[in-house]
């Protein structure tokens, strides 16, 4: 289903989606981030890309697994806290790279064991994508990892900027419902609209972006150069802040901790929070032994997870080329440069 939406009518579409919680990028504190739309007239799609990816709609930074209470000498009482009441959400302005992160995260949170917390949220999130006619960041490289600035993968709806209007393409059943809900706010797409969108796509795919050299040979070369000293050299400046993984749309590592709110009688919560392979204690055993005890080993883990291990396990890269980890790294560690160096330039 393809429709056309006059830019001025975005407000009416948002109003028509009143049975959903609508989110869209908002510029606050000097950065773009997804925010719940309070006033439909504020909804706009003139962002570059958000600093934080939309992964936390399904995988929030903090998820309470259960609450527990225990009186001394008695068995613990555990109450499950599922996000069953999470409101259905429509997220506008998802860039195609972030759209492609969705299916990758879905794989991680299903596989042999379904993660009920993730899926309860995920099933209620509809992603309305906005194609990139020009790369929103100087560090974009979606085309290097099999994506496209107009990729539909993982999105429910894709919008393409046509100038004064958007071409709106429903991609899933949920997407069709959302487009239909818009009613008269959206009109029928003409052949000319579709032609303009196709041209925008062709132009966007030709736009210069960061490049990974000979990507098909990257996994085998990373494996071959696993013991290279270059890892350590390229990680030398790393301060271990972990921003690269926190802002990554596909990084899914997490921690589980008990937070005690009352000591006697014991009360508290078991909580999942995002965690980070760049922290030394991420892998440190209680004994003090640490399998990844150097900066180089931890950088290697981040890169190999995305460009080697995930490929071995799921036959696709676990990187969608959004470039956030490059743009936001305080010391300028650049995953594209690291991959190119280790895969192709190690003697």
Partner 1 sequence: MSDNIYLPKMGRIIDVNSEVEGARAIKTFRVEFVNGDGFDHECGQCAMLSVFGKGESMISIASSPLIKEYKQFSIMRVGRVTTAIHDMEIGDVIGVRGPYGNNFPVEDWKGKNLIFIGGGCGLAPIWPIIQTAVLQRKDFKDITVFYGGRSSRDIMYAKELEKLRGDAEVHLSIDSEEEGWNEFCGFVPTNVMDKSPSPKNAIAITCGPPIMIKFVIQNLKGAGFEDTQIYTTIENKMKCGIGKCGRCNVGKDYVCTKGPVYSWADLKELPQEY
By CB under 8 A, name the binding residues for partner 1. Answer: 65-66, 68, 70, 75-76, 78, 80, 82, 108-109, 111-117, 226, 252-258, 260, 266, 268, 270, 272, 275, 277, 282-287, 289, 291-292, 297, 301, 304-305, 308-309, 312-313
Roughly how many angstroms between the first and final C-alpha of the chain, as a whole number? Answer: 53
Which residue is associated with the tokens 């797409």?
A: 189
Whichever of 39 and 289 has its CB closer to partner 1, that residue is 289
CB 116, min distance to partner 1, A:
5
SS3 of 149, please?
coil
Task: Give the pair of three-digit tokens for residue 141.
Answer: 């490289």
Kindly write down the DSSP assignment for every residue of 24-66, as one continuous string: EEEEETTEEEEEE-SSGGG-----S--SS-GGGGTS-SEEEEE
CB 315, min distance to partner 1, A:
12
How far apart are the C-alpha atoms of 274 and 53, rounded to whole Å?
13
How far apart are the C-alpha atoms of 318 and 311, rounded to whole Å?
7
Whichever of 40 and 268 has its CB closer to partner 1, that residue is 268
Whichever of 124 and 210 has its CB closer to partner 1, that residue is 124
Whichever of 172 and 283 has its CB closer to partner 1, that residue is 283
Q: At what angle do helices 335-344 and 295-304 cross, to 10 degrees?
A: 90
Residues ≥6 apart with Cβ < 8 Å to 271: 62, 63, 64, 65, 256, 257, 258, 259
**Residue in 236, 53, 228, 206 with CA at minimum distance from that of residue 127:** 53
SS3 of 70, please?
strand
Whichever of 220 and 258 has its CB closer to partner 1, that residue is 258
Whichever of 167 and 320 has its CB closer to partner 1, that residue is 320
Cβ–Cβ contacts within 10 Å for residue 70, how many? Answer: 15
CB 158, min distance to partner 1, A:
29
CB 277, min distance to partner 1, A:
6
CB 217, min distance to partner 1, A:
18
CB 308, min distance to partner 1, A:
7
Whichever of 134 and 257 has its CB closer to partner 1, that residue is 257
CB 225, min distance to partner 1, A:
11
């Amino acid at each position: 289903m393809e429709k056309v939406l006059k830019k001025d009518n975005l407000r009416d579409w948002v109003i028509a989606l009143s049975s959903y919680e609508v989110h869209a990028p908002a510029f606050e504190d000097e950065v773009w981030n997804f925010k719940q739309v309070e006033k439909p007239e504020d909804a706009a799609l003139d962002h570059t890309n958000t600093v934080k990816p939309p992964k936390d709609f399904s995988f929030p930074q903090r998820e309470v697994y259960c609450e527990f209470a225990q009186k001394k000498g008695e068995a613990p009482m555990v109450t499950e806290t599922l996000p069953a009441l999470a409101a259905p959400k429509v997220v506008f302005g998802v860039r195609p790279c972030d759209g492609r992160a969705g299916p990758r995260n879905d794989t991680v949170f299903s596989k042999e064991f379904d993660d009920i917390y993730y899926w309860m949220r995920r099933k209620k999130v509809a992603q309305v994508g906005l194609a990139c006619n020009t790369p929103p960041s100087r560090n974009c490289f979606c085309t290097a990892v099999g994506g496209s600035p107009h990729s539909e993968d993982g999105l429910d709806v894709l919008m393409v900027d046509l100038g004064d209007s958007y071409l709106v393409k429903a991609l899933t059943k949920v997407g069709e419902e959302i487009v239909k809900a818009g009613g008269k706010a959206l009109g029928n797409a003409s052949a000319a609209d579709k032609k303009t969108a196709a041209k925008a796509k062709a132009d966007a795919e030709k736009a210069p972006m960061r490049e990974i050299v000979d990507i098909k040979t990257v996994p085998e070369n990373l494996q071959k150069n696993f013991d290279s000293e270059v890892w350590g050299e390229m990680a030398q400046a790393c301060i271990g802040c972990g921003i690269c993984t926190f802002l990554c749309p596909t990084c899914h590592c997490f921690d589980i901790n008990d937070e005690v709110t009352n000591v006697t009688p014991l009360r508290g919560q078991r909580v999942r929070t995002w965690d980070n392979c760049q922290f030394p204690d991420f892998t440190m055993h209680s004994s003090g032994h640490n399998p990844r005890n150097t900066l180089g080993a931890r950088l290697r883990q981040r890169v190999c997870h995305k460009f080697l291990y995930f490929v071995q396990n799921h036959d696709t890269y676990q990187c969608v080329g959004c470039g956030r980890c490059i743009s936001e790294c305080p010391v300028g560690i650049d995953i594209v440069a690291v991959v190119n160096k280790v895969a192709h330039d190690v003697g």
